[in-house]
Amino acid sequence: MSSTAAAGRTIQIHDPTLRDGHHAVRHQLDADQLRGYAEAANAAGIPVVEVGHGNGLGASSLQVGRALLSDDEMLSTVREALTTSKMAVFMLPGWGTVRDLDNAVAHGVDLVRIGTHCTEGDLAERHLQHLRDAGVEAHAVLLMSHMATPERLGEECARLVGFGASGVGIMDSSGHYLPGDVTERITAMRAAVDVPVMFHGHNNLGMAVANSVAAADAGADILDACARGFGAGAGNTQLEVLVPVLDRIGYRTGIDLYKLLDAADLAERDLMKAPPAVDSIAIVSGLAGVFSGFKTRVIDVSAREGVDPRDVFFALGRLQAVAGQEDLIVDVAQTMAKAAAENAPERVSA
């Protein structure tokens, strides 16, 4: 099967296994794990390998989880392992600062992604300008993008290019999209900017590969995917599925299939207890439109407060909680526990 839209067009695969995957293991990957996977990805010819705490540079915290390794340790380990693949990092303004960016540049990072909530692109203005002035390739990424209209995403992307972004993209941080949603959004972004356009999927509703194909067909140039889907919540788009699927449609990725499958096998063996699954919590988080990375905290806090984690996800969805607002989980769970206690049938005293 091949499509005329594809016609041999090259899609750049960007692999955040060693960044987004951190959400699935509470940011506890060690240096051997990072090195092993980075070497395997490099050998497979994956063009870009992203590394870091799940929420990016400078994000190790009680709020979202403390990482086992420092940013310095992660970056120097992966830099050494990558001989041909580019090394990428991610940073959220308000979490990391220009100091963290300069530190990553000193470690030899090739590509920096600056992320903001999908309607708050101007938070990245100074960081994108700083990277442009430093001569470092900088892309801008809009998180939780299901919360904005296609038109708004197009406007944000145009603004981000004005700040100096040499690529723009959206994340389906909640795994909420269906393919038609992605087509509309990528089409609007493609029309708004001339720089490469990126899509980053999550698999909460089992749609990550289909959504990524829809993005490519609508003109996306860069697709994110992780080995075994290793990532927040139900996981990301599964890398070793996406690459051959793109190939069958007629897109090129330049990735060696067997070495890619080897890298994915290594990831399953060395990075995770079990590959991500579309479990009940993941489905609810996708339906509620809540950031997949909330999963481990919601489970912990719900158990402590004695409430149903699914209710917590829907309540967070109603509050329109966005990535980084993990502190709301305690309030929501405590409010529910209190309401449940007040509504419990009164005990009849003898």
Partner 1 sequence: MKRAGRLSAAVLGAGLIGVDLADKIMHSDVLDLGLVVGRDGANAGLRQATRLGMPIADRGIRSLVEVDEPFDVVFDATNAVAHAEHAEQLAPFGTMLVDLTPSRAGQMVVPTVNGASAVGNSDVSMVTCGGQAAIPVLHAITCEHRVDYVEVVTTAATLSVGHGTRINLDEYVDTTQDAVRTFTGVGDVKAILNISPARPPATFRVAMSMLGSGFREDSVRDLAEGVAKELREFVGGFVVSACSVQEERAFVAVEVMASGERLPRYAGNLDIINSAALSVAERYADDRRSIARAEAS
Give the interface with partner 1 as residue ranges (CB under 8 A): 61-63, 93-95, 97-99, 117-120, 122-123, 125-126, 147, 319-322, 324-325, 327, 330-331, 334
- Cβ proximity to partner 1: between 255 and 315 the closer is 315
CB of 64 to partner 1, least distance (A): 9
Half-sphere exposure of 208 (CA within 13 A, CB side): 37
CA distance 272 to 266: 10
CB of 79 to partner 1, least distance (A): 24
CB of 100 to partner 1, least distance (A): 10
- Cβ proximity to partner 1: between 30 and 327 the closer is 327
DSSP letter at 290 equals: -
Query: Per the structure block, which two tokens stand in for 77?
Result: 């380990």
- Cβ proximity to partner 1: between 10 and 149 the closer is 149
Catalytic site residues?
Answer: 23
- Cβ proximity to partner 1: between 263 and 298 the closer is 298
Closest by Cα among 142, 207, 146 to 170: 142
Backbone angles phi, psi at 188, to 5 degrees: -65, -40
Closest by Cα among 251, 256, 236 to 46: 256
- Cβ proximity to partner 1: between 118 and 272 the closer is 118
3-state DSSP percent of the chain in helix, strand and coil, to 5: 50, 15, 35
Contact call for residues 202 and 231 (beta carbons, < 8 A): yes
Degrees, nearest 5: CA angle 13-16-19:
170
CB of 172 to partner 1, least distance (A): 16
CB of 304 to partner 1, least distance (A): 8
